[in-house]
Amino acid sequence: MLKLLPAAVAIATIAPTVSAGPTLFEQGPPLSSGTVASDSIDPAMFTQGDNFSLAQSAVVTGVTFSGEYQLASGLRDDSFTISIHTDDAGLPAASPVFQTTTASIVRTPTGVGTRATYEATFASPPQLPAGAYWLAIQNATATPGSVTGRWGWARVNTDGDRARIFGAQSPDWEPFDNGDLAFSICGFTTNAPTHFWDFESNGRDHAGLADGLLGANVQFTSPSVSPEHLFALGRALTADASGDLADQIVVPAGAYMPLGSDDFTISLAYKRGVEDTGASDQDMILTVPGAGGWLVRAFDDTMDFLAGTTSVRVTSDPVSFDPSGSEWRHVAIVCDRDGMTTWYIDGVASGPGTPSSTLGNLNSSEDLHIGGGAFLGIGLDGCLDRLRVMHTALTPAQIRSLAREVIEFDNADCETDFNNDGVTDSTDLATLLAGWGACP
C-alpha cells in the first residue's frame, strides 16, 4: 500500500531528455563550408544575429543551428549565449525579450573538420506574440585576445541580411548583408493540437508531435471489449505501483507544449487498483518535474492536481472508487485562466474549484511522465486510457461528451444527443464516429 505524501510537496528535478520540438521557422540547410565568427574573443566581440518571423503567437521551446571552430584542430567546450530580440527598424532591439546561457544542448559532430550541429532546448520557454524577431547566438570558445578556436555560425548562402555587434568597432547592432545564417526556431503555436494517447499504438501521440518513449517494463492490458472497457478496442496502460521509470511512458521535453499560463484541460479514463481505493493512498498518474512542473494523482479518495510553481492543490469531491478495482471512471481537470480550475468526475463538476490565478506559470520543459511519478518512487496502480492534454478550457457539455467514451449511462441504448445540447446534429455524429463500437 502506498504511503501518504504531505499535501504540499516540491516537484523534484530529473535530467530532461533534450528535444527542441517541432519547427516553427527554418532557414537552411547550411552550406557545406563557410561560417561567420560569433565568439566573444574579447567582451562584446563578434555577436551575429539573423531575423525570423512568427505568423502567430507561439511558445518557443528551442533552436537548432550549425557551426564550427575556426583555426582550431578539434572540438572545444561550448559556452553559448542565446537571445531573441524584437525587430527595431530592421535591426535587433537593444534589449532581448529572451536570453539564456543555460539551455540544454545536444552537439552532434558532422565528421567534417570541427563542424557540428546543435539542438538547444530552453528550460523556461518564452511565449512570443506574432511578429518579426531576431535570433542572436554567441559562443565563448576562443582564447581571450586571440582568434584561435573562435566559433563560427554556419551560413546558408551568400545573399541575405543579418546583423552583428563587432566589439569596440561597433558596440551596437549594425546591418551586415553578407549572407543568411542557418537555424531553425522550434516550438508550438498557441493553438496547438490536442495531444492524445490511446495506447493502441504504444506511446503514439495522435497529434503526431509528442510520441512517448516506453520504459523497459511498460505493460498494456490485453485487447478485449468488456462492459468495463466500452470505449476502446481493448488496450490500456497498466502498472503495479512500483514507481520505477521502467514502468512509465516518458514524453521527451520539447515534444509537447508546456501548459504555461494557457487555459488547459486534462482528460483521461482511469481505473484505480484494488490497493488504492481507500484513504491514505495515492496513485501517481502524470508528472512533469522541475520548476513550473505539475502532477495529476489520485490522493486518498479524491482526484488531485498539484501546481509545482506555487504548491497549490486542486482537489475533487470524494470519489467512490470500486473496491474491486474493476470500474472505469472518466476524470478531467479544466483550467480557465480567467476563472476557476475544476475537476469533473464522470462528466459532472466535482469539488469547490480553485482560482486559476493561483496556479502560476506551469512552464516546465522537462519530460512528461505518463503512468507514474518522476520522483520518490511512487507510481500508478491501475489503468489509464484515452489521455488528452489540451490548451483550451473545455465546456461542461464537451466534458460530458468525452465522459461518454468511458462510462455507461443508465439508459441501455445509445442516445443520439451525445453532447446534451438538446439537438441531434453533425456534432453528435462526429462524436459517434470517433467512438465507434462504444455502445453495447
> Could you tell me the CATH number of the domain that includes residue 390?
2.60.120.200
376 band by pLDDT with thresholds 50, 70 and 90: low
pLDDT in tens, 110-121: 999 899 999 998
Q: What is the pLDDT of residue 200?
A: 86
Q: What is the pLDDT of residue 431?
A: 66
Range of the domain at 178: 23-188
For residue 30, tell me if it sits in a domain.
yes
Q: Which helix or strand (DSSP H or E) is residue 429 part of? A: helix 426-434
Place of cell 472505469: 328
What's the length of the chain?
Answer: 440
Q: What is the mean pLDDT of the chain?
A: 81
Same domain, 32 and 133: yes
Same domain, 233 and 173: no
Q: What is the pLDDT of residue 88?
A: 92
Is this model's pTM higher than 0.85 or not? no
What is the greatest pairwise CA distance in the chain? Answer: 81
Same domain, 163 and 247: no
Q: What is the DSSP string of 366-414?
A: SPEEESB-SSTT-B-EEEEEEEEEESS---HHHHHHHHTTT---SSSS-
For residue 36, tell me if it sits in a domain.
yes
For residue 414, tell me if it sits in a domain.
no
Please, what's the b/e burial string for 346-361 (b: 16 or more CB within 10 A of its CB; e: otherwise)?
bbebbbebbebeebbb
Given CA atoms 427, 432, 435, 440 in this order, what sign does their dihedral have? positive
Helices within 145-275 (DSSP H only):
none
For residue 433, tell me if it sits in a domain.
no
Place of cell 535587433: 92
Q: What is the total count of domains within the chain?
A: 2
Same domain, 85 and 152: yes
Question: By CB neighbour count within 10 A (0-12 exposed, 13-18 middle, 19+ buried), where does 310 fall?
Answer: middle
- Provide the percentage of residues in the chain whose pLDDT is more than 90: 38
Same domain, 120 and 204: no
For residue 394, tell me if it sits in a domain.
yes
* 182, 66 contact by CB (below 8 A): yes
Same domain, 159 and 31: yes
Same domain, 282 and 139: no
